[in-house]
Structure 1
């Protein structure tokens, strides 16, 4: 019996707080809140993932070698932790390429089981997507290739093995994929990688008594694994030495299930400049920013000489009746920023950044509805051999998506960026006004998402749409679609997908 079905049987759904009010379970609920403010030593310099190197292939493409391997990583005093990584023992290098680059990868699987690398947020052919149909067998090599053709954005890569994505990501297979373009490079935003343009992969982990990762699901929790330690780029309690007045943070919620509500310890305001799919039309100033698993954001923060301030995750309002069990009431110190006595001031925050999404007035070829509930989408669990529908290349569709079972979910679509047209018929909040590929679904609200399908067609090899809370995805909250060219009809998923 699946976890959320069990919770319903126990009476721990929307009205579950009443049941939790008595006995030992009620006491557990009352104490199920973490607060690490003032308890973190901040004694480790923030690691900066290295930039992946590439060679020029015979075709002129940039060729990257990515070796997936098992190893050990020391996160704290005592035994090292068994981990997986890409070109290392934990996490992976940051891949960086420009729009127009032809890229090729040799993904070598050095594990003792199959895995995959999915390019989350990338517009590319379905056969190169790295989803559940492009797994790499133990000892095997996968060689995807494509031309990058999308605006600058902070993307990422991670495993996408059906039924095992949560496990593989938790072990450490995560990295950033930064796309650059002329538009962004012409702006005076902070741009020196690791200096004033800082990657921050934020993940939670639980450790057992021997310092091994423990996939701990809270009693009564509905999201999956929730850890009590926060890692940033693989470090617990890191600090970052600030040398410039403005710093651009590329935030990734790389957790399996935890939602973060980012803000600073002094409640200073900062500027959101980009979301999943790239730059906003103009900066949005705020003091809090929520990211659900899979979402990214680029923010610009101003510092003054000599100060120290912490990035925190504050309690969130979106957890529902039992949100406390899944960490929604937690207050967590994430990273400390230590400003030098004098700061350089070579960058600026432009008043105009990019171009706003433009699909609100587009002709709509088809509208579809998706309801997420009980580990299913529209009453169906994921089936590897079933293509749920086809979309026509060159058209715009509007998908109305609703979370309808009282537990938190979010929604990610492969290959495309989407525009959030409305939330419950109203104008989306500013963080949802840029291009997105992943969006938190607040219980009961209707999200209308517009997306254009372009360039890559294949009637047989599908893309995914799914909840990016990984336990939900692994348990079946996922579906498949194909993009069709003129005259093509939905085909049949190959029994064995070719990797080259």
Structure 2
């Protein structure tokens, strides 16, 4: 082969790799091409906005054993940047939704009205209910219709959430603003001597990333057939607030954190790298607080943390850092310290006996963009992939198949259950993953084993919680009977 031919082949390889790199980052390229320096300054929003705190949805029942709520999915308009109105979706408002708060033992009814001009659903992520009330793709709510969900709260205190789960457009609807938190309280959460004054020392933090065009419109342009990891924006927001500020006490603060992104992984820390304490994961309290310097959450995962601000002085401005970017500035006020202290013990988390598992299943997650699959199959609403016996205990082995271009891995979510992580690549899970989970990150070339008991009948989903992967078919169905 002569030198001219070698040069020609090398040039083709370089151009091919460059093209793949551009296409794999098409959303970023789109924003660069559609934003000039003046627009960038306009959207930078250097002023600090007060952190928005979602309201707690009113319980319409006077009977303490019951709870009745009304939700409406609708279009809205929100000012993320001064002087710019952005078209959005929201529940009972312009963006995101209120906190639904219930007690263990309550019978709950939620009436969901769809005022959008497209179909939707509302899935109670982390709630253990039967398949008919799960809010998955089968419980579709047509435009101008109401879906009534009814269920009993039978699980311990936890921070859950709700969001659409409609076939093919879940990613778009969440990106436009449809998501909200769902709290469960019980006797243990009430008895613990930890912050619990909502909006004062017990703060919800819904972390998301979004991209905007030069007119301030949300950019949702996930490219099909491209090698990328889903819709990842270039601006971090918390509770729908860009560049937020929050005044806090010189005290112990509790933050309930949701990674509400479509696809992004978030690594969270305090700006001065001080220690904080994780007290809960997806399904509720850990047995004891776990001290951390940083915490990584994948899409759909939740964590509750305690941060001690008692050593700071008035005027200090520490911040919450997400992926090495300042996401929330804390302004310390001069309120005196309370009697709160980091508890030594939270609750019992009994381990599920592996010997009780009657079956073990394997799930291989593979692909990127819309070329994704589980066990070589893509989602088919007419096909049930797995049949599970009611009240049985099973071990599921979930593997992300390694590939050269994959950078993130896959967050794996199972509906209708809470599970415990047994191992990561046959090694024990970290201490903060020893509680109850419903979503677990499976990194490239990694195998995660989880164990669970199936206590509710019906048809449920398992899927990658990268919403673009889910929409592309990285999802399956299992029937419990």
TM range (shorter): 0.7 to 0.9
Q: Which residue of 1 aligns with 2:241?
A: 235
Deviation at 1:22, TM superposition (A): 10
Q: Which residue of 2 aligns with 1:464?
A: 461
Other structure's SS at 1:359 match? coil
Deviation at 1:60, TM superposition (A): 5.8
Q: Which residue of 2 aligns with 1:225?
A: 231
Task: Measure the CA separation in 1 of the matches of 2:303 and 2:122.
Answer: 21
* Correspondences of 1:263-412 after superposition (within 5 Å): 263-303=269-309, 304-306=312-314, 307-314=316-323, 331-374=324-367, 375-406=372-403, 407=406, 408-412=409-413
* Correspondences of 1:131-150 after superposition (within 5 Å): 131-150=136-155
Other structure's SS at 1:183 match? helix
Larger mean Cα displacement after TM superposition, 351-360 or 176-185: 351-360
Q: 1:47-97 CA distances to partner (integer Å, 9 max, x unpaired)?
A: 100000011179962110111111111110233000011111111000000
Which residue of 264, 267, 274 corresponds with 1:258? 264
Deviation at 1:24, TM superposition (A): 8.8
1:97 aligns with 2:102: yes
Task: Measure the CA separation in 1 of the matches of 2:291 and 2:55.
Answer: 30
Deviation at 1:358, TM superposition (A): 1.0
Q: Which residue of 1 aligns with 2:435?
A: 434
- Normalising by structure 1, what TM-score? 0.84
CA contact (8 A) 1:42 1:335 kept: no
Other structure's SS at 1:56 match? coil
* Correspondences of 1:442-457 after superposition (within 5 Å): 442-454=443-455, 456-457=456-457
Task: Measure the CA separation in 2 of the matches of 1:473 and 1:24.
Answer: 23
Cα–Cα, structure 1 residues 381 and 297, in superposed 2: closer, same or farther, change >3 Å? same
Task: Measure the CA separation in 2 of the matches of 1:61 and 1:146.
Answer: 10
Cα–Cα, structure 1 residues 161 and 138, in superposed 2: closer, same or farther, change >3 Å? same
Aligned length: 443
Larger mean Cα displacement after TM superposition, 167-176 or 334-343: 334-343
Task: Measure the CA separation in 2 of the matches of 1:131 and 1:57.
Answer: 29
- Normalising by structure 2, what TM-score? 0.87
CA contact (8 A) 2:65 2:106 kept: no
CA contact (8 A) 1:66 1:106 kept: yes
* Correspondences of 1:476-491 after superposition (within 5 Å): 476-484=473-481
Cα–Cα, structure 1 residues 102 and 114, in superposed 2: closer, same or farther, change >3 Å? same
Task: Measure the CA separation in 2 of the matches of 1:56 and 1:186.
Answer: 25
Task: Measure the CA separation in 2 of the matches of 1:153 and 1:413.
Answer: 16
Task: Measure the CA separation in 2 of the matches of 1:362 and 1:118.
Answer: 32
Gaps of 5+ in 2: 1-12, 33-43
Q: Which residue of 1 aligns with 2:72?
A: 67
Task: Measure the CA separation in 2 of the matches of 1:225 and 1:22.
Answer: 19
Other structure's SS at 1:215 match? coil
Deviation at 1:135, TM superposition (A): 1.1
Gaps of 5+ in 1: 1-15, 315-330, 485-500
- Whose helix fraction is larger, Structure 1's or Structure 2's? 2
Task: Measure the CA separation in 1 of the matches of 2:442 and 2:64.
Answer: 43
Pairwise CA RMSD: 2.5
1:88 aligns with 2:93: yes
